Amino acid sequence: MAESIQVEKGFAEVNGTRLYYEVAGEGHPLVLNHGGLVDHHLWDDSFEEFARHFKTVRYDMRGFGASGLLKKGMEPYSLEKDLRALLQFLGIEKIYILGLSMGGGSAIDFTLQYPEMVDALITVGAGLSGFEADEESERQNKQNWSAVLEAFKSGDIPRTVEVTLRWWTDGPNRTPEQVDPVARERIRVMTTRNYERPDDEDVEPVGMTPPAAGRLAKIHVPTLVIVGSEDVAEIQTIAGALVNGIAGAQKVVIPGTAHHPNVEKPQEFNRAVIEFLEGLA
């Protein structure tokens, strides 16, 4: 049996909020950004494995998991500035950064805002600030978000969560029955926790200006773009834009997965990340 990894856990009081974090392992720091419907538990199948190779940091962004609440009237905040403050709190100056979905978009923005801190970038089903979806994707986005908001405002959190699962975890080409039930349940639990938090609605982070979509050529670090074969069309298009826009970017498609390939096929996912990063040495 592999030796257990020692994990440091705590809260960083930064930028007027508190961020929950966990740190484990030694070596070059690797930061894990979760997506917009989940929390740091997204990385449960990867955290210890990565910590056997790198000093690995996972945390809850403001408004998620165990981190600070979003309240109307609070000072404007930035996910990227929060992360930078967390890293300063931890005494970390240089990182590899890996992010999924919203966390992938934030990882891209962080790389552009603090290029001196980033040695490698990995995106997973990433968003992209400033990206303009095509007409069909925009129609589907509006339809799905309308269903989410309708269920949430009626107080039906189970229905709210199920809509997000159908949209993201299952993907457009699979039924719920075609998805690993354990993986689906893990995403359901995390998403439910987030929708049950007492955050105020419509409190959003400040975006980067200008956004990343027109600035990808300014990213000059080794980049890996990971995407699930069954993810939505918009995410597939963004993955292509990242590969085409970032010089030398590599792409890995994990078959039989949608928006959470790290949960559906953790062994394949972990191997792709570790081989990429260890190949940089």
pLDDT at position 1 is 37
Q: Spell out the residues 6+ positions from residue 91 whose beta carbon is closer than 8 angstroms to its own.
A: none
pLDDT digits (tens, 9 = 90+) for 212-268: 999 999 999 999 999 999 999 999 999 999 999 999 999 999 999 999 999 999 999
3-state class (DSSP) for residue 8: strand
pLDDT at position 3 is 63
Report the distance separating Cα 157 and Cα 67, nearest Å.
Answer: 21
Of the candidates 140, 216, 87, the residue with the CA atom closest to the CA atom of residue 96:
87
> What's the whole-model pTM score?
0.97
3-state class (DSSP) for residue 7: strand
User: Which domains are present in the chain?
Assistant: 7-133+201-278 (3.40.50.1820)
What share of the chain has pLDDT > 90, as a percent?
97
C-alpha torsion 212→215→218→221, nearest 10: 40
pLDDT digits (tens, 9 = 90+) for 13-58: 999 999 999 999 999 999 999 999 999 999 999 999 999 999 999 9
* Residue environment code for 163-188, b if the CB has 16+ CB neighbours within 10 A, otherwise e: bbbbbbbbbeeeeeeebeeebbebbb
pLDDT digits (tens, 9 = 90+) for 70-115: 999 999 999 999 999 999 999 999 999 999 999 999 999 999 999 9
Report the distance separating Cα 105 and Cα 109, nearest Å.
Answer: 6
For the chain, the straight-line distance linking the first and the last C-alpha, in angstroms and rounded, comes to 28
